[in-house]
Every structure is written in C-alpha cells, then in structure tokens.
Structure 1
Amino acid sequence: MHTYTIPLVPGPTAVRPEVLAAYQVNYGSADLEPEYPLLYSETEILLHNLLGTGNRIAILSGEGMVALWGALKSTLCPGDRVVAVATGFFGFGIADMARAIGAHVDTVDFGFDEAATDLDRVADAIRRVRPKMVTLVHCETPSGIINPAAEVGALVREYDVPLYYVDVVSSLGGMALETDAWGIDLCLGATQKALSSLPDLGIVAVSDRAWDIIEAVNYQGYDALLPFRAPPAVGGFPYTPNWHALAALYTSCSLLLAEGLTAVYARHEAIARRWRESLEALGLTLFPRDPATNAPTVTAVKLPETVSWPDLDAALRRRGMVVGGSYGPLAGQVFRVGHMGAQASEALWHEGIRTLSAALRELGLPVNEVTP
C-alpha cells in the first residue's frame, strides 16, 4: 500500500498538507544563500519552545538514528562507563549502540511492560558504576510506555553524572518536555513522529557541559555534533544542508505553536484516552502493566490469543487501515495504535475503532459493541 486511508502507524505519521507544501518550493543552494542559516536560527527558536530548553540545537540531515548515533559517538570514547536505563526495545538498543563504540555499559533492565519507576535500582547502578553517561528512552514506542525522565534526571544531578542522554523521538510534539529543568544534556528528537513531517532530520539539544565534552572527544564523521556548536552561517555547515526538510520542520513547529502547546498536549491526551477506553471496551487488554505509564502518543495492545498479527494486519489493510506491530520479544504479541501528531484526531479515532471492531469480528473474535 502506497498510502493509507486510515493511517494509525506510530511513525512515520501522516504528513499535514502545509508541511508537504514546503517540499514543493524550488529552493536555491543552502550553502550559498543567507536565508538558509536565518531559517535554521528561526527553527531553532521554535524547537526551544517544544523542547523546553535554551540550549543550542543541532539539526542533522538524516532520520532520527543520525541523532542517536551522533550524540553517542560525539561524547563517548572506548572504555567510558554508561548506565543504560532500559524498559524496552530502544532502551536496550541504545545500550548496544554504546557498546559498539567501546563503552562499558551497565544496563538497568525493567520488564517491557513497565516503566523505570523503581528509582532505587537506577540510583544503585549510578553509585556503583560512576558513569560518564546515563541513557533513557522517554517514550518506548514498541511498548507504549512513558518513562520518568524528570526523576531519573534528578538522580543524574544528585550523583554528578557528566551526561544525561534522553531519546524523545516519540514524545517530542506530543507531550510537554522540560529539557533544561530535567537536566538533559543530550535531548534527541526526530521529525517523523508527533511533528508529522518526513523522516529526514535528527534533532539534538546540547547542554553547555555536553558541548565541552564534545570538544574534548573531537569525533569526526557525518553524524558529528561538533560542527553545529557555532551559530549557523553561510557555508558553515559540514555538508550540503536539506533546505526542504528544514522548511518542513519550521512549518510543522509553527503549526503546533499556532495551535498552542497546551492545546496540542491536551488533544493528544484526550485522543489517547478515547483510544484506551474504546480498546478496553472492545474486550482487548492494554500492554503496559500500570495505566499511569501509558504514552499519550501511542497505545500498545495485547493481541488476543486466537488472533495472529499477520491475520489482523491483513484484515485491517483490506479496509485501508494500518497500525503497527512490535519488535523484539513483543513481535507477534502486541499491536500498536499511533495517535500522534496529525493522527491525534477525533475523526481518525472514530474511523479507526470502527474498522478495528469489524476486522476482529471477521477474524472470529466476539468483541463487544462500541459506539464511537
């Protein structure tokens, strides 16, 4: 399927027409024109609002992984110690990425169906390891769980850990973020989730102390953060910048700020609540153990024992609806509804729950009647 009639994948999400329009402009060379660094600076200001930070922001060409890899390679050296707080596929994945760089990683592992709420375990690991960096995924998309970024950040400060690295790819634009207040040194985002743009930019908000470490490490590579420390200038970017993608990001951020961030986050909470209530009313079981840890941008649902993921996926696709499966140990056990960005809408919830009900009935599941 090239396009989805009922798009409910937890990323990449449906792109708003205003954002798509930014790609239709025949821009000049971003290396030559002063309008490009000006747009970069203006976009950075908008991101300050969304991220809750005054820190310099690096906007890198590439999907969100370019930010995750670049931040690790720009700050870690072989032998550095890392505590990875992991509650799901991406939390454990970041631990593996740090190991690939040569870091010694101690993983504080939680069940995939729980958040990192046992802070004593995190504190014990930090005291024992004395790491250079603590890592956390704010929103574990494969399991639909929000982790306590503020509380873990307080431990990072209490024990004077030099770097706090937080993946906010699936929460940026869908819930309030307070990068500075939470003490995040490397706050990592992307454009293809709640920002509802294309998967073509990575975003990193970098604290002053992180910049100093980046200078000392002096990593050189396509995904290096160091070239972005200086204010943007004509010809000052490390590779040919993507003017179209930056214009789309500027448009996306502008749309959210025009709606008002309080209203944006309330919309996400309201639609998430509707989805969760409707899914449970159908007789389905949500995956997270504690309802308080459900993410406002994605809901993970246990597959009924009598329904396989390929069969459900096919039944939904026949009706023009696509949701996400899951990864790792959750593959074939969980499906996910992405109600983030442009997909956090009343109309999509209405169509989505009606279509899901029909698909489950086709597969022989005696679901309850739900009236959206």
Structure 2
Amino acid sequence: MRFKPSYAPGPTDVRENVRLALAKKTNNTDFDKEFIQYYHEVCQKMGKVMGTTNEVLLLAGEGILALEAACASLTEPGDRVLVLDNGIYGEGFKDFVRMYGGEPVVLSFDYQKSIPVEEVRDFLEKDHDFKYATFVHCDTPTAILNDVSQLSPLLKEYGILTVVDSVAGMVGEPIDVDKNQIDICCGGTQKAISAPVGLAIVSISDDAKKSMNNRKTPIASYYANLQIFNGYIEKGTLPYTMPASTVEALEVALDNILNEGQKAVYDRHAKIAQAVRKSVQDYGLSLFVESGASNTVTAVIIPSEIGALRLQNHIQETYNLYIATSLAQYEDVILRIGHMGENAFTDKVLSVLTVIDNGLRDLGFEGKGNLGQLFLDALREEN
C-alpha cells in the first residue's frame, strides 16, 4: 500500500520518540494493576497541559468520541441544550443532543467571525433555561477561533454547564480549563498534541459530575458513557481494554510539550500562523476568516476558476502530497493549511507552501511572488 505524505489539519506528524513508544512491550491492561495507576498518572499529566485539576479521562477512540460521550452523559430526554454555532462542527453538536433525547436550541452566527460574546449575553438575558451549552474552540473546517475565556464564564453566570470541543485547539491555543470554568473539555491526541490517533480526552468538572449523578434516567450508552469510569482506581480496573501502547505514546508526546514549555509551544504556533496568513494574502489569495483566526489552521479561499478540489487532486497526482480542502458547502472553496503540533515548524510549513505555490501556478494562478519566500519574509519581519 502506498501512503502519500500528508499536510492536513490533523492527524499531524508524530515525532520519532513518540512512535518508538508504540513499540514497547506492554502487559495485559485488563489485569495489570500497575497499568491502572500509570493510566491515572498520564491523565493527570494531560490535565496539567490542559490547565485543570478536574478529573481527566482518556477514552479509547478518536476525538469525536469525547464530544458524543459528553452529550450522552449530560443529556436526558427533554433537556434544552444551547448549541452555539459558527462552524460546521459547532452546528453538528445538535445531532448528538437529539440522539440522546435532548432539545437543541441552535444559536447561529457568521461562519467567518468568532462568536460575538455580547450577542450571546443579550440572548441569555431573554432565555437561559438550558442544562448545558456547547461550542467549539477551533472549528477546523473554517479555521475560526472562539474566545473560550469569555464564553464559558458567561454561560456559567447563568448556571449553564459548558461543553467545549477543543480537539483542534488544545496545545496550539491556550485552553486553561479551570481558569475558564469549562465543565467538560474535549480533545483528541492526533491534532496539536501530535500523538497517534486513538485516544479521546475529556476533563470533567465537579458540577458536570453532579449533573450526571442527579440524572433521573440512565445514560443511553455504554461506550459513550463517562460514568463507567467512576471509581476505576479503587476498583483497580478500567471499563474496557485500554490501548496501552497509545497511552505510552501520548505520555511521550506530553513530555515533548512540557519540555519545550507550553508558552514556547503557543508562541511557536502563533508565529507560524501569523506568517502563513500574511504570506497567503501577500501572494494574492484571500483568507476565509474575517476575524478570530486560529493559530492551528489557516483556511484559504481558492479562486473558483481553479477550485479547491481540483487543486487538491492535482497536488496529489503531481507532487505526491495530500492537502486538505474543507467540508460540506466549503469543500470546493477552501484549502486548509494545518500548522499544529509537529507540523508547526518552519521547514515543514515552507515545504507545503512551496508545493501549493507550484500547484496553483500549474493551474494558471499567477501569485505575487513566491509563496514560500513570502512566508520566510513574514517570519523575519516578526523577529
């Protein structure tokens, strides 16, 4: 089987020391009591990176499992849930709410701008009878970033629990779970953490636990049920077989982040993202996001006479590189440049921008200069 190199907004490159952790021999995690303690320690280390002392769980599954498990564990039939929508994944929360019997109330905003906090405040003054609210930190299909530090505390003012999807934001953007009063924060290992696909991340506040414990109906799932982990340390057993090698690889990836320093990691993402955005615009292309751009991914509008899908296919066939377009109505409009985790380094970004430049020129687009060189110039200006 032939694999193309990929430069998409996740899964990201995995550093060699993380890959090597996958090769370590492991015991049977169903019976190994030492693994239970080890799992707990890795969860705590994940919490340190997220900025929380809340319980953190690693679920055996991709990041979307975290989103579903949050909704499954909180939602009871008839619960009203506020879905803040300014992106494809933001809007998608309504499906999980409905799946578990809730009544989603979707409050939609411009997909090219961050969620306007004051408009949410105005809405809540008139209607705040919601069990919980959902929103996305970074909505990857459009590269929009929402202000967690303002939105989550605002919702908590009205006694509304918060569920935040930070799958594509976590580590590339500050999340600060405790400081920002996030009740359930969801992540995935394959984005800016740069660990292998296979673990979903969930932090759970005391308020969220209380809500789950006070349910009148059982959670309508086993696998997407956060309560099945209750008391796992005391019991000395996890609710299902955990992928030990993936947990070990995650710990190494977390150590990479902590050794670099979280502020340094955030700064690296910010510098790379700013240089990408400036170079794209100097080159003659437009960004999709008008305000509130994420530092983990850039969404570029591809001229309609070329089309994002045509460019993607051409680059795959000609340069043996996989790059991502967007989803749904933006599939043939947006090209996404992922610069998160191990992909957020100058040499890697330069290589993909050079290929995009070549691909665009092959298809008749005349950029203003060389896209890779413009990126390097932008980095120098920052310094």
The TM tier, using the shorter chain, reads over 0.9
2:13 aligned with 1:37? no
Secondary structure, aligned partner of 2:214? helix
- Where structure 1 has 5 or more consecutive residues not aligned to the other structure, the ranges are none
How far apart are the structure 2 equivalents of 1:74 and 1:295?
29
8 Å contact kept, 2:128–2:158? no
2:206 aligned with 1:208? yes
How far apart are the structure 2 equivalents of 1:302 and 1:39?
45
Residue 100 of structure 1: CA displacement? 2.0
Residue 91 of structure 1: CA displacement? 0.5
8 Å contact kept, 1:167–1:188? yes
Q: 1:256 corresponds to which residue?
A: 257
Q: State the AA in 2 paired with 1:58.
A: L
1:217-251: per-residue Cα shift (whole Å, max 9, x none)? Answer: 34251121012232535742111111011111111
Residue 314 of structure 1: CA displacement? 2.0
8 Å contact kept, 1:135–1:165? yes
8 Å contact kept, 2:232–2:238? no
Residue 354 of structure 1: CA displacement? 1.4
1:181-216: per-residue Cα shift (whole Å, max 9, x none)? Answer: 111100001111111122211111000111112223
Secondary structure, aligned partner of 1:367? coil
Residue 277 of structure 1: CA displacement? 1.4
Residue 26 of structure 1: CA displacement? 2.3
Secondary structure, aligned partner of 1:82? strand
Secondary structure, aligned partner of 1:232? helix
Q: 2:293 corresponds to which residue?
A: 294
Which residues in structure 2 correspond to 1:137-286 (within 5 Å)? 137-161=136-160, 163-217=161-215, 218-219=218-219, 220-230=221-231, 232=233, 235-286=236-287
Q: State the AA in 2 paired with 1:183.
A: Q
How far apart are the structure 2 equivalents of 1:108 and 1:274?
33
* Cα separation, partners in 2 of 1:143 and 1:253, compared to 1, 3 Å: same
8 Å contact kept, 2:132–2:162? yes
How far apart are the structure 2 equivalents of 1:126 and 1:4?
51
Secondary structure, aligned partner of 1:203? strand
Q: State the AA in 2 paired with 1:268.
A: H
* Cα separation, partners in 2 of 1:95 and 1:122, compared to 1, 3 Å: farther
Secondary structure, aligned partner of 1:324? strand
* Cα separation, partners in 2 of 1:51 and 1:181, compared to 1, 3 Å: same
8 Å contact kept, 2:33–2:237? no
Kindly, what percent of the aligned residue pairs are identical? 30
Instruction: Give the TM-score taking structure 2 as reference length.
Output: 0.92
Which residues in structure 2 correspond to 1:276-355 (within 5 Å)? 276-290=277-291, 293-317=292-316, 318-355=318-355
Residue 129 of structure 1: CA displacement? 4.3
1:44-66: per-residue Cα shift (whole Å, max 9, x none)? Answer: 22112211111001111011111
Q: State the AA in 1 paired with 2:17.
A: E
* Cα separation, partners in 2 of 1:63 and 1:164, compared to 1, 3 Å: same
Q: Which shifted more, 253-262 or 110-119?
A: 110-119
8 Å contact kept, 1:83–1:125? no
Secondary structure, aligned partner of 2:223? coil
Q: State the AA in 1 paired with 2:28.
A: S
1:80-119: per-residue Cα shift (whole Å, max 9, x none)? Answer: 0111111100001012221222211111101221110243
Instruction: Give the TM-score taking structure 1 as reference length.
Output: 0.95
8 Å contact kept, 1:85–1:122? no
Q: State the AA in 1 paired with 2:248.
A: A
8 Å contact kept, 1:191–1:202? yes
* Cα separation, partners in 2 of 1:136 and 1:123, compared to 1, 3 Å: farther
